[in-house]
Structure 1
Amino acid sequence: MTAGTIDLGSFTFGCGESIPSLEVAYETYGEFSGSNAVLVCHALTGSAHVARRPEREDDRSATDRSTAGQARAWWGDTVGPGKAVDTTEYFVVCANVPGSCYGTTGPASESPETGEPYGSDFPPVTVGDWTRAQRRLLDELGVGRLHAVVGGSVGGMNALEWVRRYPDDVDLVAPIAAAPRLDAQCLALDAVARRAITTDPDWNGGDYYGDERPAPDDGLALARQLGHIMYLSKASMSEKFGRRSAGREASEERFPPDPAADFFPYRDVESYLDYNATTFVGRFDANSYCYLTRAMDDFDLASGYDSVADALAAFDGEALVMSFEADWHFTVDQSAAIAAGFRETDTPVAHHVVDSSHGHDAFLVEPEHVNPPLRDFLADGVSGRAVTDTAAGSDDGEHAAPVHSSLFGE
């Protein structure tokens, strides 16, 4: 494993604004042979720390700067020696995206021109900016054509942007639990999450950095709680929490304190949300959360093209689209639209639908479902033994998808 930061020099964002220096934090795993590079694109609040350290299989206690403040490799059950993305076979690269706060330049970074954190003066970022930064990073690492680009959630959008922007640079692409664009419901929920941050009394227009100034932690905590509700399904929340009380001891840590706590129960589901919110504000930046959710909201695979198929037309590799039945955040139907776009261009593609009740987070927490098709796809393309086209559709070319659960009803 190699962890580092590369200064790419001046960088002009899609909005037209520039910064004099873009530093990109990255990690690599395995040995590069010239044709075995796999780029893994992280999800919204992920980092470059995708796999566990070879010398420490359990990476949960690693909290030094080399892990970008994340205690656990975010896809350690899928990327590593002998795993689906096998680091003894592939040269794996993962880079933290511009606008984040895990080592790559973002709002919390110091501006070389002012000596102060950028804050709200940092340029708006897009998924296209992430992709261009990754391309420049790979150039610095001596990596040209990629064997594969793999990503989950907004990382899957990042992977799709690769085959739209650099179709000649990729052999295989695997967008997992992704979509060609967000629907109105998810756009609305992201907007509420950002407003929780920007209405925090400590927001200060996004310029809250400094030892004497408090950060908008309460707003960020609420935004993260809303995110966790989006990532789980109705069925999985019922199974995990039900209506159980968390008990009096747990209620002492509730956020925010409740004056009626002695009368009304503090439930398991509340305790889960409060715990995750508390740990999240200790490792993430509120500005970055706003910047990255806006980049996700803005992404539209067909933007500037006549259709999704038109956007993918120049790609001549193979694609694995993977979705999960209970994922209401990025639905099976949305993944089917991606697969249909590939099919319209005669790109070999499989849409692998996983029978899972977990929700959007399934791609992170159910490696037993993700790893077999992904492993075989990286080895043999869509002809891989475990790669099944479970949403291939009917003879008339329409691509059906299973009915999926919704957080708001079955």
Structure 2
Amino acid sequence: MTTQGTVDLGEFQFLSGETISSLEVAYETYGEFTGDNAVLICHALTGSSHVARRPDAGDETAGQARAWWGDVVGPGKAIDTTEYYVVCANVPGSCYGTTGPSSENPETGEPYGTDFPPVTVGDWTRAQRKLLDELGVGRLHAVIGGSVGGMNVLDWLRRYPDDIGCAGVVAAAGRLDAQVLALDTVARRAITSDPNWNGGHYYGGPEPADGLARARQIGHIMYLSKASMSRKFGRRSAGRETVHETSPDPAAAFFPYREVESYLDYQADKFVDRFDANSYLYMTRAMDDFDLSAGYEGDADALAAFEGELLLLSFTGDWHFTVEQSEALAEAAREADVNVAHHVVESDHGHDAFLVEPEKVGPPLSALLEDGLKGRLITDTDDEDDSDSFAPVHTSLFSD
């Protein structure tokens, strides 16, 4: 059973203090609700509510080309929709059906643009809680999310700790470090310096496509590791016949158009067709603003009220959200007496690993949902005696 819909939550006050008269939230559900089997999945920066494949609607929903976790969520998959009632909601500020900058402001009849209120991760969590109330879902069996969706999960733990049985935080951290903050700043400046941005009120006219394209390219560089970029592209030429139609400068024709350039141009071209530039500004600012310890004495204090189980997954090649940052979260959870496990995945795919390696992400999440942290992970062999406990896989990373 799958459903796709939009709920009008009515007047909504953001944590900034600003209010809009109507917040519509787009969502999808998968499976049947039995009262204690609900799993909320929180999407990443440019994701949507379309987390799993929908046989009734093909594999394209809300403008996103495919289900972003279609190999993890679904019938018989790691998050098994024949066992669990999965809910995924597009968050406020995005552009996939939930009210955001590109939505119509009922007071003016025009798109909000940058008149839309500032959005925080806390606003996402509060909107999700209100949506679940509308769906008749109280306590959740689990909340799971990756990247900034993992930050969304952490906000659930501090904001609604009694509503959650267990949580899975995948490739995330309690806050961004200065390097990622800096790169996000440059990405936003690429958008706001585009001559077509027009202060965010570009709807109905030329869009800041070049600025959004550059912002997305910066993002893709952050999501890949050195090893994966070397393996994928090296210094290879894409061939002169594949030169991008607009040369960046007159001398470019003398030099090779490299495969890495071709990849970045291709990804940028695809992205500007499906995402809104203002939403990119709003979503990255929400991510940059998140700090688990804000309003608390520290991360441990923020997690102290959560009495469920917490699984952290990190990836060795990820420099956007590092293994060390996940281990810092795990230490804070231990300090708060939260039952926590930190599973480190060996991968050279960078931050993208949580999306492109479902075979490594799915098993620990499946075990968490089925057995909690007592669950055990089976290796690539078929021998059940050859198994590993959750955490941490690479203890040497955290020893003196």
- Category of TM-score, reference length = shorter chain: over 0.9
Q: Does 1:366 align with 2:360?
A: no
Give the structure 1 partner of residue 48 of structure 2: 47
Equivalent-residue separation in structure 1 for 2:203 and 2:35 (angstroms): 43
- Cα distance in 2, alignment partners of residues 138 and 259 from structure 1: 55
Letter in 2 for 1:86: D
Please point out which of 243, 266, 280 is paired with 1:275. 266
Q: Contact 1:182–1:330 at 8 Å: present in 2 too?
A: yes
Gaps of 5+ in 2: 378-388
Q: Hey, what's the Cα distance between the residues in 1 that align with 2:349 and 2:321?
A: 13
Shift of 1:252: 3.8
Find the partner of 2:142 among 138, 143, 148: 148
Report matched runs for 1:105-120 at 5 Å: 105-120=99-114
CA distance in 1, matches of 2:214, 2:254: 23
Which residue identity does 2:42 align to in structure 1?
C
Q: Tell me by how many angstroms 1:243 deviates.
A: 0.5
Aligned equivalent of 1:172 = 166
Tell me how large the CA RMSD over aligned residues is. Answer: 1.5
Instruction: Name the residue aligned to 1:197.
Output: 191
Answering whether residue 316 of structure 2 is matched by residue 325 of structure 1, we say: yes
Aligned to 2:156: 162
Aligned-partner Cα distance in 2 for 1:158–1:392: 26
Report matched runs for 1:212-361 at 5 Å: 213-253=205-245, 257-361=248-352
Distance 2:327 2:70 in 1: 27
Q: C-alpha separation between the residues in 1 aligned to 2:319 and 2:217? A: 17
How many Å separate the matches in 2 of 1:54 and 1:375?
22
AA in 2 matched with 1:228: H
* Equivalent residues, number: 388
Are the counterparts in 2 of residues 391 and 400 from structure 1 also a CA contact under 8 Å?
Answer: no
Give distance in 1, aligned partners of 2:310 and 2:105: 40
Q: 1:18-167 counterparts in 2 under 5 A? A: 18-54=19-55, 59=59, 62=60, 67-167=61-161
Letter in 2 for 1:54: P
- In the TM superposition, 1:389-408 aligns within 5 A as 389-390=391-392, 400=398
Mapped to 1, the partners of 2:36 and 2:269 lie a distance apart of: 43
- Counterpart-to-counterpart distance in 2, 1:234 and 1:224: 18
Letter in 2 for 1:390: P
1:144-180 deviation digits (Å, cap 9, x = unpaired): 0000000000000000100100000000000100000
Aligned residue number for residue 383 of structure 2:
none
Residue identity over aligned pairs, in percent, reads 74
1:72 counterpart letter in structure 2: R
Deviation at 1:54, TM superposition (A): 3.2
CA offsets per residue over residues 206-239 of structure 1, 9 Å max, x none? 11011xx101000000000000000000000000
1:335-369 deviation digits (Å, cap 9, x = unpaired):
11111111112221110000001100100000111
CA distance in 2, matches of 1:79, 1:315: 25
Deviation at 1:272, TM superposition (A): 0.3
Helix, strand or coil: the match of 2:134?
helix
- Structure 1 residue 242, shift from structure 2 partner: 0.2
Inter-partner Cα distance in structure 2 for 1:401 and 1:2: 47
Cα deviations across residues 51-85 of structure 1 (Å, max 9, x unaligned)?
Answer: 011357x82xx3xxxx1101100000101111111
TM-score normalised by structure 1 residue count: 0.92
Per the normalisation by structure 2, the TM-score is 0.94
Partner SS for 1:319: strand
Q: Does the 8 Å CA contact 1:321/1:349 hold for their aligned counterparts?
A: yes
| Contact 1:336–1:391 under 8 Å retained in 2 | no
Cα separation, 2, equivalents of 1:401 and 1:312: 24
Contact 2:216 2:271 in 1 (8 A): yes
Q: 1:86 to 1:284 in 2, by over 3 A?
A: same
How far apart in 1 are the matches of 2:315 and 2:116? 35
C-alpha contact (below 8 Å) 1:350/1:392 kept by paired residues: no
**Mapped contact 2:345–2:393 kept (Cα < 8 A):** no
The answer to whether the 8 Å contact 2:314/2:323 transfers is yes
Runs of 4+ more than 2 Å apart: 255-262, 391-394
The alpha-carbon distance between structure 1 residues 384 and 177, as it changes in their structure 2 partners (threshold 3 A), is same
Q: Which residue of 1 aligns with 2:390?
A: 388
Q: Give the corresponding residue for 1:408.
A: none
Conserved? CA contact 2:147–2:171, under 8 Å: yes
| Partner Cα separation in structure 2 for residue 252 and residue 345 of structure 1 | 53
DSSP-derived class of the 1:262 partner: helix
